[in-house]
């Protein structure tokens, strides 16, 4: 019996026969996440339905030195949930209970497999919602959100997942159940909750999440402004921020992104626009009305040739439809594309967009820009045709050059999609060896044997040091399964 | 490597932490010098001193060789107004960051507090309801680890998920993981207008404000034995919006709109030498927490909107005179709070309580002034902390009061942490109380500071 067969037998006994998959055809379903060009078939998939079962699976992995990878809905865009060839994939989709909704405490407690939008749905009747709203919110899981510290269009005003999670139960890589934080703020001690959020499954499995519920705003106003160029739209964005307005969202799309959205969902944006801005304000009615007038004037002063104001929810949905469909929509105008995710200081926007245009032209590929303009989070879509020899390589080059630009301007290599497997190699460009080593001190505290999602985030894992009496298990340095996929 | 004696000076009489005197003091001027110092100080136990405003809070260090003073690490390195961020050295006074041109670092902090101290303590004040705490506003950080390694986390952009968010780990770590030398903060525009609404109202009324559409920036309670409890709300925004919302809140609470904060706003509810406790809990449990604390004889203040309260017991009076109030869970409960009525809304704002001071000298005396007469009128509260600070009776009573509040906080889903207590009482208390995840925390400490040299014994579980 191989190691995995023995593990499978143990897990079948502990969590149930139907919750353990080893059939290659079934395993294949889980070979990739949203970044589909990385594929690895896991050795085993576990589908626990209780927290105790999650702990049992992790304990079994810990005792046998088997790597494990948590997976929520598999929508991640950095290969974070890419399985390990010799490891266990722990899928949280059976952990879908909404444990409690307490509007009077502005909290809800949910299991990790609960879908993001579901939280808003259950809180809505009480007048509350869950603020972080990734575009994937209809399908992505709260556990995945926690692991990626996901943001959304409205995080400009409301912050990211990390600002909306106050408590977690996690199963640490040794199989222990630990509570971090709770329903109240400022839990004494190290903010391990803060360190866990955004750790991409490398510190353990989140098994219960306490989230803040936010009061639904009294008023929401949405404006679409069309400009001749991204320079003008960028100037309008800066003017809005300079005026002291913090909109709920400011999103920008350039001409190519508009073209794609038009052909996919017929969003009917103003013809001839070189860029559109979507600005949304929310809050108390009087505040919103006053600021809305100001935003409208600032757009016009910066060259908007047409502005549209959503009169109702239906018109608002129409304005957002173009933006929300943009990623998928570029499939209409290009057979293949790379979604990049990088951050720059907002004031560098015009310079960076020009440079992206130049780099794209130099390499003979097109780049469509869709992004969160308010916080400088770029999502350039590098378009290419894989059937044309050399294009894929050129697209890769342009995509990497965009990250260079982000780093040059003091930004970040990822604003919301995470490092995963895809950007681990870029980490040393943003952080020194000492910085990365310091992050891994935390890793060593949680996971000295390096079995939780090995090969992700860090290009070279740290040796956690000899510990008297401690067994040194399989080390991530042996992440051979990862090496094969390149 | 520079020798330790070139980088340090002998400690003076004032260089103590909770009565423990250091041997050496150093005040490095930049990150490189700080790193050289810490490398040279291997083997020494270290406590970091910012503004020193609250250095004596918390348990005393087990050992202390060297105090690292951050005040020379001072200055705004960058204020990128268009990007709404600022880069500051750790010793920069918070007061400099409250009024950047047109913008603000929206963290309440006492006069004299430094940016690094505020981050290290994850300190907060009333406006946390709207802006969050240091944890939410810190986007980048430079730290010198106990082994002298200089390390950065985060960056200069608000949105950034590259690698672990170590800024969160250093925030609230009280200098046990290393020396913070530089911080990058997210800023907010200075609001065009602001107003307070003050009302005599029980804490339960706070729920009405939260459920309404007022977008309050702060929602504070103030309650003391024998006095009517009060609520105060801060609204910020456009002039028209502020006027309208303030009027609506005033109508709802039967209160009055004021330009000025009440004199108790952001003022710790204990005087020098008193006992200060931080209480947290679920929002719906705030009224119960307030009632328990007031019942035990405490003055309670804090954010009913965030679920973070501060309870204060006055200093035990050394001479057995009248009106001595101490700690004792002997009051029958919140009912006693309506026995006498001292409405804060008719007390005039005091100079010095500007709404950002937790403990400026004027503010402290205001706090003490308020709590003493108020509690002396509460006949149901028996004076229990004896004539001397360290008496066995006083110590036992303090311990009992804290146990009571801790149990109440746990019922409310939160925690009770003793921030400060007089010498003699402090030693007998478990100041931090039980903490979930302590074993993991110890492992983190072991990784960063294997010899336990930074602030030994000052943090949770004796870390
Ligand atoms: C246990 C405790 C809990 C507290 N809780 C609150 C609270 O909830 N709300 C509130 O308003 N205030 C709180 N405070 C007070 C808080 O410390 C001050 O408000 C803070 O702003 C003081 O700044 P300072 O520069 O005077 O720091 P100091 O009083 O000099 O130091 C405060 C703490 O931070 C550490 N420290 C200071 N600078 C650095 C640095 N550069 N790098 C690493 N560590 C450093 C010190 O070692 C010390 O532990 C608390 C204090 C303590 C001790
Ligand atoms: C069309 C589309 C639009 C998107 N838009 C956005 C957006 O606007 N903003 C944004 O931030 N992201 C966006 N994403 C990315 C993605 O949806 C988010 O990263 C999301 O949080 C992933 O959730 P998931 O449940 O799919 O996680 P998965 O992809 O299954 O996993 C992601 C990572 O989380 C870890 N993980 C999952 N569950 C757990 C758990 N319980 N405990 C510990 N670790 C766990 C995995 O190991 C992996 O590292 C988008 C993706 C798509 C496909």
What distance in angstroms lies between residue A410's CA and the mean position of ligand 1's atoms?
30
B172, A190: Cβ pair inside 8 Å? Answer: yes
pLDDT in the model for residue B282: 98
Same domain, A274 and A345: no
Residue nearest to atom 16 of ligand 2 (CA): A76
The pLDDT of residue B250 is 98
Cβ contacts (< 8 Å) between B171 and chain A: which residues?
A: 191, 194
8 Å CB contact of B163 and A427: yes
pLDDT of residue B305: 97
Write out chain A residues lying below 8 Å of B415, CB-based.
184, 186-188
Q: Write down the pLDDT at residue B341.
A: 35
- The whole-angstrom separation of Cα B234 and Cα B241 is 13
Smallest CA–CA distance, residue A181 to chain B, in Å, is 8
What's the DSSP call for residue A416?
A: S
The pLDDT value recorded for residue B370 is 32
Pairing of strands A249-254, A366-372: antiparallel
Q: What is the pLDDT of residue A479?
A: 35
The beta strand positions in A16-106, using DSSP E, are 20-21, 44-46, 68-71, 88-91, 98-102
- Does the residue A363 lie in any domain? yes
Q: List pLDDT tens digits, range B370-421.
A: 333 333 333 333 333 433 445 666 677 888 999 999 999 999 999 999 999 9
**Residue A141 is assigned to a structural domain of this protein:** yes
pLDDT digits (tens, 9 = 90+) for B266-324: 999 999 889 999 999 999 999 999 999 999 999 999 999 999 999 999 876 554 433 33
Across the interface, of A189, A287, A413, the residue whose CB is closest to B437 is: A189
Write a three-state SS string for chain B.
CCCHHHHCEECCCCCEECCEECCEEECCCCHHHHHHHHHHCCCCCEEEECCCCCCCCCCCCCCCCEEEECCCCCCEEEEEHHHCEEEEECCCEHHHHHCECCEECCCCCCCCCEHHHHHHCCCCCCCHHHHCCHHHHEEEEEEECCCCCEEEEECCCCCCCCCCCHHHHHCCCCCCCCEEEEEEEECEECCCEEEEEEEECCHHHHHHHHHCCCCCCEEEEEECCCCCCEEEEEEEECHHHHHHHHHHHHHHHCCEEECCCCCCCCCCCCCCCCEEEEEECCHHHHHHHHHHHHHCCCEEEEECCCCEEEEEECCCCCCCCCCCCCCCCCCCCHHHHHCCCCCHHHCCCCCCCCCCCCCCHHHHHHHHHHHHHHHHCCCCCCCCCCCCCCCHHHHHHHHHHHHHHHHHHHHCCCCEEEEECCCCCHHHCCCCCCCCCHHHHHHHHHHHCCCCCECCCCCHHHC
Please identify, among A174, A196, A215, the residue that sits at the C-terminal boundary of a domain: A215
- Tally the domains of chain A: 4
**Is A319 found in the same domain as A362?**
no
CATH number at residue A422: 3.30.70.2740
User: Does the beta-carbon distance from B447 to A442 stay under 8 Å?
Assistant: yes
Residues of chain A below pLDDT 70? 1, 466-486
Domain co-membership, A132 together with A240? no
A150 and A241 housed in the same domain: no
How far CA B416 is from CA of A183, A384, B45, B308, B402, in Å, comes to: 14, 58, 28, 10, 8
The pLDDT value given to residue B317: 58
The reply to whether residue B161 touches residue A417, judged by beta carbons under 8 angstroms, is: yes
What residues 364-423 of chain B have any CB closer than 8 A to a CB of chain A? 412-415, 417
Token reading at A95: 């952990």
In a domain, A119, yes or no: yes
Residues A19 and A119 in one domain: no
Cα(B17)–Cα(B63) distance, integer angstroms: 10
Q: What is the CATH number of the domain that holds A248?
A: 3.30.70.2190
The answer to the question of residue A441 being in a domain is no
Q: How far is the CA of B114 from the centre of ligand 1 (A)?
A: 9
Round to whole Å and give the CA distance between A314 and A324. 15
**Residue A355: domain span:** 334-430
Q: What is the per-residue pLDDT for A283? A: 96
Say whether B240 and A286 touch across the interface (CB within 8 A): yes
* B368 CB within 6 A, ligand 1: no
> Is the distance from the beta carbon of residue B114 to the nearest atom of ligand 1 less than 6 Å?
yes
Q: Which ligand lies nearest the alpha carbon of A329?
A: 2
Closest ligand 1 atom to residue B53 Cα is 26
Domain boundary pick from A40, A60, A91 = A91
Q: Is residue A118 part of a domain?
A: yes
Q: Is residue A32 part of a domain?
A: yes
Q: Are residues A235 and A328 in the same domain?
A: yes
A450 found inside a domain: no
Of A430, A457, A479, the last residue of a domain is A430
Q: Closest Cα of chain A to B295: distance in Å?
A: 22
Q: Say whether both A314 and A256 belong to one domain.
A: yes
Could you tell me if A301 and A395 lie in one domain?
A: no
The domain spanning residue A64 has which CATH number? 3.30.43.10
Cα–Cα distance between B463 and B457 in angstroms, integer? 5
pTM of the predicted protein model: 0.92
Nearest-CA residue for ligand 1 atom 20 is B118
Q: Are residues A121 and A41 both part of a single domain?
A: no
pLDDT of residue A462: 81
Which domains, ranges and CATH numbers included, belong to chain B? 1-190+435-463 (3.30.465.10), 193-258 (3.30.70.260), 275-428 (no CATH)
pLDDT in tens, chain B (463 residues): 568 999 999 999 999 999 999 999 999 999 999 999 999 999 999 999 999 888 888 899 999 999 999 999 999 999 999 999 999 999 999 999 998 988 999 999 988 999 999 999 999 999 999 999 999 999 999 999 999 999 999 999 999 999 999 999 999 999 999 999 999 999 999 999 999 999 999 999 999 999 999 999 999 999 999 999 999 999 999 999 999 999 999 999 999 999 999 999 999 999 988 999 999 999 999 999 999 999 999 999 999 999 999 999 987 655 443 333 455 444 333 333 333 333 333 333 333 333 333 333 333 333 333 333 333 333 333 333 433 445 666 677 888 999 999 999 999 999 999 999 998 888 889 999 999 999 999 999 999 999 999 999 999 999 9
The answer to whether residues B385 and A157 touch, using CB atoms and an 8 Å cutoff, is: no
Residue B206: the pLDDT is 98
How far apart are the CA of A36 and the centre of ligand 2, in A? 13
Residues A107, A193 share a domain: yes
The answer to whether residue B161 neighbours chain A at the CB level (below 8 Å) is yes
Q: Indicate the residue of A195, A377, A434 with minimum beta-carbon distance to B159.
A: A377
| CA A141 / ligand 2 centre spacing (Å) | 7
The alpha carbon of A406 and the centre of ligand 1 are apart by a number of angstroms equal to 35
Partners of A414 on chain B (C-beta within 8 Å) are: 160-162
SS (H, E, C) A193-236: HHHHCCCCCCCCEEEEEEEECEECCCEEEEEEEEECCHHHHHHH
Q: Which of B14, B15, B49, B50 to mutate to test the pocket of ligand 1 (most atoms within 8 A of CB)?
A: B50
Pocket of ligand 2 (CB under 6 A): A 33-34, 69-77, 80-81, 92, 112, 134-136, 140-141, 143-145, 147-148, 150-152, 200-201, 205-206, 327, 416-417, 453
Q: Are residues A401 and A318 in the same domain?
A: no
Chain B residue numbers touching A445 (CB-CB < 8 A): 440, 443-444, 446-447
Residues A365, A308 share a domain: no
Choose the mutation target among A168, A169, A189 for the interface with B, i.e. most B CBs under 10 Å.
A189
- Residue A460 has a pLDDT of 87
Residue A414 lies in a domain: yes
B322 touching A, CB under 8 A?
no
């Amino acid at each position: 019996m191989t190691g995995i067969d023995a593990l499978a037998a143990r897990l079948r006994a502990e969590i149930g026969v139907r919750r353990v998959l080893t059939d290659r055809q079934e395993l294949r379903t889980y070979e990739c996440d949203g970044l589909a060009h990385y594929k690895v078939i896991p050795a085993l998939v576990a589908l626990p339905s209780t927290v105790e079962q999650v702990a049992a699976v992790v304990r079994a992995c810990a005792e046998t030195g088997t790597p494990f990878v948590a997976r929520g809905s598999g929508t991640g865009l950095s290969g974070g949930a890419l399985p390990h060839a010799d490891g266990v994939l722990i899928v949280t989709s059976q952990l879908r209970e909404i444990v409690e909704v307490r509007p009077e405490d502005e909290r809800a407690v949910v299991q990790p497999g609960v879908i993001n939008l579901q939280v808003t749905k259950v809180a809505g009747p009480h007048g509350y919602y869950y603020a972080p709203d990734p575009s994937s919110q209809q399908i992505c899981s709260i556990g995945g959100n926690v692991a990626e510290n996901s943001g959304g269009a409205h995080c400009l005003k409301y912050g990211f997942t990390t600002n909306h999670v106050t408590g977690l139960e996690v199963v640490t890589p040794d199989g222990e159940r630990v509570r971090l934080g709770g329903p109240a703020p400022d839990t004494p001690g190290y903010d391990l909750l803060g360190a866990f959020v955004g750790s991409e499954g490398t510190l353990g499995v989140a098994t219960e999440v306490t989230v803040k519920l936010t009061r639904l705003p009294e008023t929401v106003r949405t404006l679409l402004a069309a400009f001749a160029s991204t320079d003008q739209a960028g100037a309008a964005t800066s003017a809005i921020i300079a005026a002291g307005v913090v909109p709920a969202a400011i999103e920008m799309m350039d001409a190519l992104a508009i073209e794609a959205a038009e052909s996919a969902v017929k969003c009917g944006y103003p013809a001839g626009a070189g860029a559109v801005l979507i600005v949304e304000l929310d809050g108390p009615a009087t505040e919103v009305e006053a600021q809305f007038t100001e935003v409208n004037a600032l757009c016009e002063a910066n060259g908007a040739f047409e502005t549209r104001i959503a009169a109702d929810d239906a018109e608002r949905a129409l304005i957002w439809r173009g933006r929300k469909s943009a990623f998928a929509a570029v499939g209409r105008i290009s057979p293949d594309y790379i979604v990049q995710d990088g951050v720059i200081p907002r004031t560098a926007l015009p310079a960076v967009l020009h440079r992206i245009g130049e780099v794209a032209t130099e390499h003979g590929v097109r780049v469509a820009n869709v992004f969160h303009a308010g916080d400088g989070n770029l999502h350039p879509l590098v378009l290419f045709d894989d059937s044309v020899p050399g294009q894929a390589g050129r697209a890769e080059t342009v995509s990497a050059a965009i990250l260079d630009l982000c780093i040059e301007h003091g930004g970040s290599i990822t604003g919301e999609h995470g490092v995963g497997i895809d950007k681990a190699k870029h980490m040393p460009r943003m952080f020194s060896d000492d910085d990365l080593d310091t992050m891994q001190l935390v890793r060593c505290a949680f996971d000295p044997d390096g079995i939780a999602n090995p090969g992700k985030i860090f290009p070279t894992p740290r040796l956690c040091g000899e510990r008297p009496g401690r067994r040194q298990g399989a080390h991530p340095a042996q992440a051979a399964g990862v090496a094969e996929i390149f | 490597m520079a020798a330790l004696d070139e980088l340090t000076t002998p400690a003076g009489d004032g260089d103590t932490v909770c009565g423990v005197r250091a041997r050496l003091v150093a005040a490095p001027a930049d990150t490189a010098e700080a790193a050289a110092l810490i490398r040279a100080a291997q083997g020494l136990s270290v406590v970091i001193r910012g503004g020193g405003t609250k250095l004596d809070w918390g348990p005393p260090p087990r050992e202390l060789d060297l105090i690292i003073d951050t005040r020379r690490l001072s200055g705004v390195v960058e204020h990128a107004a268009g990007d709404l961020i600022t880069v500051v050295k750790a010793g920069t006074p918070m007061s400099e960051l409250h009024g950047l041109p047109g913008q603000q670092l929206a963290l309440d902090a006492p006069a004299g507090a430094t940016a690094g101290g505020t981050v290290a303590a994850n300190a907060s004040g009333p406006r946390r309801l709207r802006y969050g705490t240091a944890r939410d506003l810190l986007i980048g950080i430079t730290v010198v680890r106990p082994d002298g390694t200089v390390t950065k986390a985060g960056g200069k952009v608000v949105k950034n998920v590259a690698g672990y968010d170590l800024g969160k780990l250093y925030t609230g770590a009280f200098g046990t993981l290393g020396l913070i030398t530089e911080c990058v903060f997210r800023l907010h525009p200075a609001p065009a207008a602001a107003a307070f609404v003050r009302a005599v109202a029980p804490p339960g009324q706070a729920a009405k404000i939260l459920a309404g559409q007022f977008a309050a920036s702060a929602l504070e309670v103030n309650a003391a034995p024998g006095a009517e409890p009060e609520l105060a709300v801060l609204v910020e925004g456009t002039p028209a919006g502020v006027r309208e919302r303030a009027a609506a809140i005033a109508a709802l609470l039967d209160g009055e709109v004021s330009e000025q904060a009440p004199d108790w706003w952001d003022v710790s509810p204990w005087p020098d030498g008193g006992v200060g406790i931080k209480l947290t809990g679920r929002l719906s449990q705030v009224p119960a927490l307030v009632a328990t604390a007031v019942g035990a004889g405490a003055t309670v203040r804090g954010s009913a909107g965030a679920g973070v309260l501060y309870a204060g017991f006055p200093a035990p009076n050394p001479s057995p005179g009248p009106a001595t109030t101490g700690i004792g869970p002997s009051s029958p409960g919140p009912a006693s709070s309506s026995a006498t009525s001292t409405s804060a809304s008719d007390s005039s704002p005091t100079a010095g309580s500007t709404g950002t001071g937790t403990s400026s000298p004027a503010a402290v005396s205001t706090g003490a002034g308020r709590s003493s007469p108020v509690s002396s009128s509460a006949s149901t509260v028996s004076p229990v902390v004896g004539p001397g600070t360290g008496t066995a009776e006083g110590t036992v009573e303090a311990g009992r009061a804290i146990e009571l509040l801790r149990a109440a906080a746990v019922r409310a889903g939160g925690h009770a942490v003793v921030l400060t207590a007089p010498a003699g009482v402090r030693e007998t208390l478990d100041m931090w109380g039980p903490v979930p995840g302590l074993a993991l925390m110890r492992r983190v400490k072991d990784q960063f500071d294997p010899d336990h040299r930074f602030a030994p014994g000052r943090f949770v579980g004796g870390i």
